[in-house]
């Protein structure tokens, strides 16, 4: 099953910078998961499609759609649980 984690961020967002190293570590461990960074300033249409209102927002999805949504800095264990739940 294809699992994707979308990281909605902005360059000016302090909490987004805090989230980055957590996601970098997870991307190394979860090589079979697609990690996508979505700059909301450059991709407002995608942010609107996913109804992103706060940053950072992380969305875990699979072929069935959105499995989990996190708003704010999220720790690795919660993200990993969502990845497993999505079928990664």
16 catalytic residue (yes or no)? yes
Choose, from 10, 13, 26, 27, the residue flagged as catalytic. 13
In the chain, how many domains are there? 1
- Give dist(CA 9, CA 74) in Å, integer: 13
1 or 44, greater pLDDT:
44
Choose, from 6, 7, 9, 16, the residue flagged as catalytic. 16
Domain of residue 58, residue span: 4-85
Handedness of CA 55, 70, 59, 83 (dihedral sign): positive
Q: What is the pLDDT of residue 62?
A: 97
13-60 pLDDT tens trace: 999 999 999 999 999 999 999 999 999 999 999 999 999 999 999 999
pTM summary value: 0.95
* CATH number for the domain harbouring residue 56: 3.40.30.10
Q: What is the pLDDT of residue 68?
A: 98
């Amino acid at each position: 099953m294809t699992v994707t984690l979308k990281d909605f961020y902005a360059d000016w967002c302090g909490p987004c910078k805090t989230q980055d190293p957590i996601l970098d570590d997870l991307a190394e461990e979860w090589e079979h998961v697609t990690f996508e960074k979505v700059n909301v300033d450059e991709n407002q249409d995608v942010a609107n499609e996913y109804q992103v209102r706060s940053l950072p927002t992380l969305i875990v999805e699979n072929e069935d759609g959105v499995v989990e949504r996190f708003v704010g800095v999220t720790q690795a264990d919660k993200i990993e649980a969502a990845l497993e739940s999505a079928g990664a």
